[in-house]
Chains A and B, each alone.
Chain A
Amino acid sequence: MFRAMLQSLLAHRVRLAMTALAVALGTGFMCGSFVFTASLTHSLDSLFGQASAGTDVEVRHVVPAGAVQGAGSAAARPIPASIATAIRALPGVAAADGTVSDRAVLLARTGKPLPAPFVAALSWPADAPFQVPFTQRTGQPPSGPGQIMIDRDSARAGHYTVGDRIEVAIGGQARRFTITGITGYGSAGSIAGGSLAIFDLRTAQQLFGRVGYFDTIQVKAASGISAQQLRDQVARGLPPGVEAVTAANASASEARQLNSQLGILTSFFVAFAGVALFVGAFVIWNTFSIMIGQRARELALLRALGAGRGQVFGSVLAEAAVVGAVAAIAGAGLGILVAKGLAALLSGFGLSLPVTGLVVPATQVAIACAIGLVVTLIAGLAPAYRASRVAPVQALRDAVPSSAGFSAARLVSGLVLTGAGVAMLLAGLLFGAAVAVTAAGAAVSFIGVTVLGPLLARPLAYLVGLPLIRLPARVGALARGNTMRNPKRTSATAAALMIGLAVITAASVLVSSARAMIGGQISAASKTSFFVQATNADVGLTPALATVLASQPGVQEVTGVGTTDATVAGATHQSVDGVDPSRISMFTDLGLGPGRLASLNSGQMLVSQAEAAAHRWRIGDLVPVGFGSYRVSRLRIGGIFANVGPLTGYLVGQATFTADTGRTADTVDLVKAPAAARGTLARVLGSYPGAQLLDQAGYAKSRGSTLGSLLNLITALLVLAVIVALLGIVNTLALSIVERTRELGLLRAVGMGRAQLAQMITAESVIITVIGAVLGIVMGLGLGSALAYAVTRGQQATVVIPGGQMVTFVAAAALAGVLASVTPARRASRLNVLDAIAAE
């Protein structure tokens, strides 16, 4: 029995390899996600370890509990320099150095920033123990204003050597320095790929506004004193709000915090891997179903010769197990490639993460492989069951093709499932049911549509095939007939593609709606003509730039706005703007309802109507706002405004902003000036490479660009699911060609050319992919509209359907259909006419 199974596996090895690949891709993606995050964690751990080499204890300002870091969020508060002097005098202290750290962008000779995942600026530690991490140095450390040391990787990327002049953007403004030294970091050329700008202490303090202050103080113990003893010793003398931690603890807690954020990334990737596996399961199920159908006679013969139902069932399931095992092993191998690919993919979408070296987490990879195997087995269950139902007598009869006619049971169950799924989805999106209900709703409606699929396949194939009917030699009509003759198979093949496209479509509806909403808000309320925006939100713009811009001829008004990432009433990653209360209404019409703008002067906060409604806030309420690692404040609501315009949902005064974030840099300068002033502004900004000049439309686009990158990333990740679906199409076509050998032979005998035969197969493929695309787009539009409505209704319910993109999707699906058919079509056209006619 199992010898027969093995032989059948070998006989179909190409087909099974394709099937295995369909699962291997999903499994590989899942493994890859795990390998990627494990590698990232490892890289970060070793990075923190290297950074603390040579240091025993760190002294820094207390970080508020639950501080969450985000783009542009505040770093911990600086501490007075006098503390360092006091520590140095303590017994058991060998050395203590204060350092300043901030951000600075190294520029290439072209004036463009050197690419780097993050841009660190540091002060050079005076004492040798703290210089340990800075390895492979050439030249001299910086020792005065105008001097800089940069990292080896940046020097290589920018072709800089010691003695060269380099421009560095600080607060968006370009400044010139002389490179006195170049350094590596630990065993690498820089800190995990980030760039390093190292100044001497006094210069750093002046550049970054820390005169008389340090960000951290590093302490080295005298010999015979442990880090813990030293910490206790140092901690005793510290003023309130300042803490001492051992270097080991400090790096461990930083690593912990980062890991919790990376957990989100892992879940994100694993979700997409799940989609790919779901699609892979479809492909397996479909491929096995077709092969069982084709082998009915063979199976019946086995049964006639005395094989039991269980044996037949077992042998098919064993085939699935072999495929699943091969797929799982291949997936684990693929995972390593995927991990590398993911790092590249993320940096391609503007999220560069330092990954040095690959770590393979055995348990997680094993789990991913097991999932791949189990998915394959589950997908093989139904075909195996059907195989076990083949009656022995079928060995003696001609195969009767099952005609899937109309089935009322199918219609009812499909409609009920789809309806239930949609209801759950809407309940989740619009009436606040749990996220799990929403996700389950989406999955159930997919299954519902899949159940309806065979009923939809015939009419859809008829319609989709219409434009092909005119193809010469009846190629189109034949292709359409072929896709209509087995609606179950066609719909199962198309369903695999449908899933990926539905999610892509939903995401693009959501993103275009959100973008349209942002654009609408900015143009509706804004009286601002130009926006000078910081290209790097972490670095920001020097406040001096606003003054420089204001002094330009033709410019009427300029005001700087700072934006920071904050945690508002427990909600992480909210944006809070610091504005000048006396000037902001010249740039945007806030539509202040209850409350006064002047309340900002007394440290109160304005909230948008949408946020107020969502949180049921009223004037006078106190709201906790966490500003990065700097502090947590309780801000009183002084007013509620209607129009967000170019700003965000939370506004504080500039004084409050600086006091709560420690930041003086602006994120964007709003400029009122006639359009003719554009040239002047652009000229001034020539020496501010960290600033970009945008008009209203450009600013709206830039505000939506994060969403755009996210959409691209989601699309790129879903391409995998689409590839898996295409493998399924290749399989279905290849199997159907085997099935139709005689037919194809007949066509060739009565005069159809090779090219025409290939065209017919291609047309079949295109019909299937377009059906999948149409079904997916229809589902995606429904899902996306509901999502968009749910997300935007708090502010201004906006649902935008990107028609152009939908057309592109259908065209891409058709093209993918052509690609998927290349091999099967070639195979069909190469059939030997005589063999085909003679084939049994």
Chain B
Amino acid sequence: MMTATTTALAARAENLTKAYGTGQVKVTALDQVTLDIPAGSFTAVMGPSGSGKSTLMHCMAGLDSVDSGRAWIGDQEITTLRDRQLTKVRRDRVGFVFQAYNLLPVLTAADNITLPLDIAGRTADREWLDTIIETVGLKDRLHHRPSELSGGQQQRVAIARALAGRPAIIFADEPTGNLDSKAGTEVLDLLRRSVREFGQTIVMVTHDPVAASYADRVVFLADGQVAGGLEQPTPQSVLDRMTTLGSES
């Protein structure tokens, strides 16, 4: 039996169960989900609407509580933590990229990038920051406010922010959901390069087969349960799998 202290894992979920409502209106969002996220991997979580993929991400990231089961970030079990410690785990070990409204409008791009470090009271590693900014290609937009940036640029700032603290894992929730295909491609490229070049672990929730094909592997979720996986996915293989998932349900 595998233990939680395995260092090769960036995150792990074990028998996670989560339901909303009670009685007749009870909806089981997660049903005994077990999932390992190896360090340095790029995992896409896919599934139809209501499959529980967002809930899984929220529970694994310490944003939501679970009814039963356990979850770890690195070797830190987070399902037993109280809010204050959870906040600290998110701050120090987790990065987030959301679908939209991802940045603080009152801060410049540069300040948005260092926000988690500032909140933690950590000083930024200048060299690392320069590397990230170089990678995301926003050198000349650093002193602009989010309202002066395009959607794709905003999302790249958000990725830089997630990378800045060298978190154990980055959770990206539909990061291309609000972008046109060109900007979406740039963002997905950037995510993949982060994994390849910096060894960053990323878990991405998406319903877009093209987006999922950028990942190393895809985990399919249906009705709150893991419904299989796919290594080295292509858009076509993902799409095929999705179609079968849809017909099963």
Contact call A474/B119, Cβ cutoff below 8 A: yes
Residue interface mask A474-518, B partner, CB < 8 A = 1: 100110011011000000000000000000000000000000000
**A746 contacts the other chain (Cβ, under 8 Å)?**
yes
Residues of A within 8 A of B161 (CB): 750
Q: How far is the CA of A136 from the CA of B121 in the complex (A)?
A: 77
Q: How far is the CA of A743 from the CA of B146 in the complex (A)?
A: 13
Contact call B118/A743, Cβ cutoff below 8 A: no
Contact call A750/B96, Cβ cutoff below 8 A: yes
Contact call B84/A474, Cβ cutoff below 8 A: no
Please tell me which one of the listed residues B87, B95, B101, B118 contacts residue A474 in the complex, with CB atoms under 8 A apart. Answer: B118
A451-476, CB < 8 A from B: 472-474
Closest B residue by C-beta to A483: B106
Residues of A within 8 A of B115 (CB): 474, 747, 750
Residue interface mask B89-129, A partner, CB < 8 A = 1: 01110011010011111110001000110111100000000
Contact call B119/A473, Cβ cutoff below 8 A: yes
Kindly provide the distance from the CB of B59 to the nearest chain A CB, expressed in whole angstroms. 10
Kindly provide the distance from the CB of B132 to the nearest chain A CB, expressed in whole angstroms. 15
B149-169, CB < 8 A from A: 161
Known: A474-B115, A756-B119. A485 touches B105 (CB 8 A): yes
Residues of A within 8 A of B98 (CB): 746, 749, 837
Residues of A within 8 A of B84 (CB): 753-754
Interface of A is mostly: helix
Residue interface mask A712-746, B partner, CB < 8 A = 1: 00000000000000000000000000000011001
**B248 contacts the other chain (Cβ, under 8 Å)?**
no
Contact call B87/A753, Cβ cutoff below 8 A: yes
Contact call A743/B63, Cβ cutoff below 8 A: no
Q: How far is the CA of A754 from the CA of B105 in the complex (A)?
A: 20
**A569 contacts the other chain (Cβ, under 8 Å)?**
no
Known: A474-B118, A834-B63. A751 touches B106 (CB 8 A): no
**B83 contacts the other chain (Cβ, under 8 Å)?**
yes
Please tell me which one of the listed residues A474, A747, A833 contacts residue B63 in the complex, with CB atoms under 8 A apart. Answer: A833
**B58 contacts the other chain (Cβ, under 8 Å)?**
yes
Contact call A746/B63, Cβ cutoff below 8 A: no
Contact call A751/B105, Cβ cutoff below 8 A: no
Known: A474-B119, A746-B104. A751 touches B87 (CB 8 A): yes
Contact call A478/B104, Cβ cutoff below 8 A: yes
Closest B residue by C-beta to A742: B101
Known: A485-B105, A752-B87, A834-B58. A477 touches B111 (CB 8 A): yes
Contact call A834/B64, Cβ cutoff below 8 A: yes
Q: How far is the CA of A752 from the CA of B88 in the complex (A)?
A: 8
Contact call A743/B105, Cβ cutoff below 8 A: yes
Interface of B is mostly: helix
Known: A477-B111, A746-B101. A472 touches B121 (CB 8 A): yes
**A748 contacts the other chain (Cβ, under 8 Å)?**
yes
Known: A472-B121, A834-B63. A743 touches B90 (CB 8 A): no
Contact call A749/B90, Cβ cutoff below 8 A: yes
Residues of B within 8 A of A474 (CB): 107, 111, 115, 118-119
Known: A474-B111, A743-B101, A837-B63. A750 touches B106 (CB 8 A): no
Contact call B63/A751, Cβ cutoff below 8 A: no
Most central of A481, A742, A747 by chain B CB within 10 Å: A481
Residues of A within 8 A of B111 (CB): 474, 477
Q: How far is the CA of A633 from the CA of B101 in the complex (A)?
A: 83
Closest A residue by C-beta to B161: A750
Q: How far is the CA of A748 from the CA of B103 in the complex (A)?
A: 13
Residues of B within 8 A of A753 (CB): 84, 87-88
Q: How far is the CA of A472 from the CA of B96 in the complex (A)?
A: 22
Contact call B88/A751, Cβ cutoff below 8 A: yes
Contact call B119/A751, Cβ cutoff below 8 A: yes
Contact call B83/A752, Cβ cutoff below 8 A: no
Contact call A750/B58, Cβ cutoff below 8 A: no
Residues of B within 8 A of A747 (CB): 104, 115, 119
Residues of A within 8 A of B106 (CB): 478, 481-482, 484-485
Give 18 new A-B contacts, CB below 8 A, not counting A477-B111, A743-B101, A746-B101.
A477-B107, A478-B106, A482-B106, A743-B104, A743-B105, A749-B90, A749-B98, A750-B96, A750-B115, A751-B87, A751-B88, A751-B92, A752-B87, A753-B88, A756-B119, A833-B63, A834-B58, A834-B64
A-B contact pairs, 30 of them (CB 8 A): A401-B105, A472-B121, A473-B118, A474-B118, A474-B119, A485-B105, A485-B106, A743-B104, A746-B98, A746-B101, A746-B103, A746-B104, A747-B115, A748-B87, A749-B90, A749-B96, A750-B95, A750-B96, A750-B119, A750-B161, A751-B87, A751-B91, A752-B87, A752-B119, A753-B87, A753-B88, A754-B83, A754-B84, A756-B119, A834-B63
Q: Which residues of B come within 8 Å of A, CB atoms?
A: 58, 63-64, 83-84, 87-88, 90-92, 95-96, 98, 101-107, 111, 115-116, 118-121, 147, 161
Q: Which residues of A come within 8 Å of B, CB atoms?
A: 401, 472-474, 477-478, 481-482, 484-485, 742-743, 746-754, 756, 833-834, 837
